[in-house]
């Protein structure tokens, strides 16, 4: 097992699953070191690594910018995806069972991606966001097609209170005929967060408030419904 798999496996996954059930999100073990986070931040300037760049303000997504990586992904993105999938898979399958559904996800991530590609969902979906002073992310859900995986993982690549201020991570649960519930987390650098889309099909939207100062970037795969492409 490589170091990425060991870091993923170091988490208390029973506690993570319980927290995701109760709060809609959970902190994960540290997946990248500060030095690795700094190296990942530098990737943002390499145009050859990305298939698309989105400026958020014109689309009313908030303010800031994000870029979709080309596949195959640079280290450690692919390695972490492969290590995280089997840990998140039991949570997703458990939810589908509670809803009386047959879980569609195979044991291997590559087999799930093959199913997505066969359904025409071929575009890579791993992305990185970059925020400047005052930038923010509107509440949203990530939906890329009919085949979805209900969990995403976020890794903060910048150091709060050093690289930036503000920028809390917010999840809001959309409940039928009820006020929405919210879960907020201050993500430290190098920490990852996993979060879902409810047990009774209550969609969750993720976003973040303005960053009053500095510039920050992070890899982002927010939890809701997405395909792991």
For the chain, 229 residues long, give each residue's pLDDT as a single digit of tens: 899 999 999 999 999 999 888 888 888 999 999 999 999 999 999 999 999 999 999 999 999 999 999 999 999 999 999 999 999 999 999 999 998 999 999 999 999 999 999 999 999 999 999 999 899 888 877 777 889 898 989 898 988 888 888 777 777 776 655 444 454 555 554 545 555 544 444 444 455 555 444 433 333 333 333 444 4
pLDDT value, residue 140: 74
pLDDT value, residue 177: 54
pLDDT value, residue 110: 96
74, 80 contact by CB (below 8 A): no
180, 173 contact by CB (below 8 A): yes
d(CA 131, CA 65): 7
Chain length of the chain: 229
Residue 153's nearest CA partner among 220, 204, 108, 86 is 220
Q: Indicate the domain borders of the chain.
A: 3-220
d(CA 185, CA 127): 20
Statement: 3-220 belongs to CATH 2.60.120.620? yes
Residue 139's nearest CA partner among 25, 60, 212 is 60
117, 125 contact by CB (below 8 A): no
Tell me the pTM.
0.80
Residue 70's nearest CA partner among 52, 84, 56 is 52
| Structure token digits, residue 228 | 């792991």
d(CA 22, CA 181): 11
pLDDT value, residue 163: 86
pLDDT value, residue 141: 73
pLDDT value, residue 195: 52
For the chain, the maximum distance between any two Cα atoms, rounded to a whole number of angstroms, is 47
């Amino acid at each position: 097992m490589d170091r990425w798999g060991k870091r993923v496996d170091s988490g208390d996954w029973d506690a993570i699953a319980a927290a995701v059930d109760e709060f809609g999100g959970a902190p994960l073990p540290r997946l990248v070191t500060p030095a690795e986070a700094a190296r990942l931040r530098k990737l943002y300037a390499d145009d050859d690594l990305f298939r698309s760049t989105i400026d958020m303000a014109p689309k009313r997504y908030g303010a800031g910018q994000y870029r979709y990586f080309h596949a195959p992904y640079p280290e450690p993105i692919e390695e972490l995806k492969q290590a995280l999938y089997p840990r998140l898979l039991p949570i997703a399958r458990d939810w589908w069972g509670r809803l009386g559904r047959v879980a569609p996800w195979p044991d291997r991530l590559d087999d799930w991606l093959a199913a997505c590609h066969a359904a025409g969902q071929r575009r890579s979906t791993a992305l990185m966001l970059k925020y400047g002073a005052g930038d923010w992310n509107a509440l949203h859900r990530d939906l890329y097609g009919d085949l979805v995986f209900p969990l995403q993982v976020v890794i903060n690549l910048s150091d709060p209170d050093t690289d930036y201020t503000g920028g809390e991570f917010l999840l809001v649960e959309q409940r039928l005929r009820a006020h929405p519930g919210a879960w907020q987390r201050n993500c430290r650098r190098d920490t990852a967060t996993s979060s879902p889309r409810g047990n009774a099909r209550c969609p969750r939207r993720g976003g973040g408030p303005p960053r009053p100062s500095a510039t920050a970037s992070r890899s982002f795969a927010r939890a809701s419904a997405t395909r792991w492409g």
